[in-house]
Amino acid sequence: MDLPKHGRYDYSPIIERPNYDWPDGKRLAFYVAVNVEHFAFGEGRGHTPTVELPHPDQRNYAWRDYGLRVGIWRIFDLLEELGLPACHLLNSEVIKHAPQIADRIAARGDELVGHGRTNSEAQGQLSEEDEAALIKEATDGLSDRFGTPPRGWMGPWISESATTPDLLKEAGYSHVMDWPCDDQPVWMRTRSGPILSVPYPVEINDSPAMLVRQHTASEFADMAIDQFDQMLKDSRKQPLVCGFSTHTFVVGQPYRLPHLRRMLEHVVNHPDADKVWFTTPGRIADHVIGLDEGVVPRA
C-alpha cells in the first residue's frame, strides 16, 4: 500500500541529527505566542466556550471581543512584569478594530507573525488565487502599520491548502508555524525553494486544551510546567523549542490569569533558567538559517 504523501519533508528521527546550540550555549529556546484575533459579527467561524447560537450569536462574539478589550491588556502587563518578549499571531483586521493593541505591540518591540485577516475564515478552503490574495492583504496590512513585513506565518485555525507553503515562500516568508511535527525547526520543500518550519504547540495551547478537551486552567498550567521541565531535561541531548500558545479571550479571563502567571513564573524562576533562551520564533528561524550547511538538513 502506498499512502499519499505531502512531500514537504523527509522522515528524520531526532536521535540521528547533528547537535548544535542556541545563542550563548543555551539549550532550550522558549517563546510565548499570543493569538490576537478579530471576528466578523454574525457570520463565519468562531471559538466558543459553550453552545454555539444561531447567527448573529452575540454572546460568543462578545466573549471573543473581551480578549481584545480586557484580556490582552492583562497579558501585556504580566509579560512586562516578568520581562518576557512575545510573538503576536496577529489578524490584520485587529489593526483597524483595535489600533491601541498595535500601538502597544509596537511600543514593546514584540515580534509579529502573520495570522491571516480574521479567524472568521480558514485559508485551507480557498482557491490558490484567493489564498494568495488573503496572504497579500494580511501581509500588506501588517507591513503598512509596523513598517516591515512579518517573516513568519501561522494560518487562521492552523489551516493550510495543498499550496500554502509555496504561496508563503513566494510572498517572502522565511518560516511557517503550521506543522506541529517536531521539537526542532525543520526545512520544508516548496516549489520556489526551502522554507523553515518552526515548532508551534497544538497541545500546550490554551484554546484546544480548555475549549475542546475541557482541561481546567489549573490543569493547563500543570501541563505547561511539565512540558517545560521535560523539554529542559531533554535539551541536554538536543537543542529544542518550547512554545506556550495563548489566546486573549481564553487565558485573559480573570480566573485563568493566576495560572498563566504560575506557568510563566515557573519558567522565569527555574533554577536552570540560565540554559533557556527567552526568544521568539523569528529569532529561532534566524539562528537556524545562519547555521552551517547540513547542520539542519535541507528537505
Each residue's pLDDT tens digit, 168-213:
999 999 999 999 999 999 999 999 999 999 999 999 999 999 999 9
Each residue's pLDDT tens digit, 6-21:
999 999 999 999 999 9
Each residue's pLDDT tens digit, 113-143:
999 999 999 999 999 999 999 999 999 999 9
Nearest to 79 by CA among 105, 52, 57, 54: 105
Residue 175's CB is within 10 A of a number of other CB atoms, namely 24
Mean pLDDT to the nearest integer, 228-253: 98
Q: Above 80 in pLDDT, residue 28? A: yes
3 state DSSP class of 186 = strand
Q: What are phi and psi of 29, to 5 degrees?
A: -90, 120
Average pLDDT, the chain: 97
Q: What are phi and psi of 185, to 5 degrees?
A: -60, 145
Long-range contacts of 98-103 (CB under 8 A, 24+ apart): 98/38, 98/68, 98/69, 101/36, 101/68, 101/72, 102/145, 102/146
Each residue's pLDDT tens digit, 202-230:
999 999 999 999 999 999 999 999 999 99
DSSP E strands in 57-180: the ranges are 87-90, 111-114, 152-153, 175-176
pLDDT of residue 298: 83
pLDDT of residue 52: 85
High-pLDDT (> 90) share of the chain, %? 96
Distance CA 176, CA 84 (A): 22
The answer to whether residues 38 and 93 touch, using CB atoms and an 8 Å cutoff, is yes
Q: Above 80 in pLDDT, residue 24? A: yes
Sign of CA dihedral 266, 269, 270, 272: positive
Q: What are phi and psi of 165, to 5 degrees?
A: -60, -35
- Which value, in Å, is the radius of gyration of the alpha carbons in the chain? 19
107: left (phi over 0), alpha (psi -120 to 50) or beta: alpha
Structure pTM? 0.96
Domains and CATH numbers, the chain: 14-289 (3.20.20.370)
DSSP E strands in the chain: the ranges are 28-36, 87-90, 111-114, 152-153, 175-176, 186-188, 195-197, 240-247, 276-278
Q: What are phi and psi of 74, to 5 degrees?
A: -75, -35
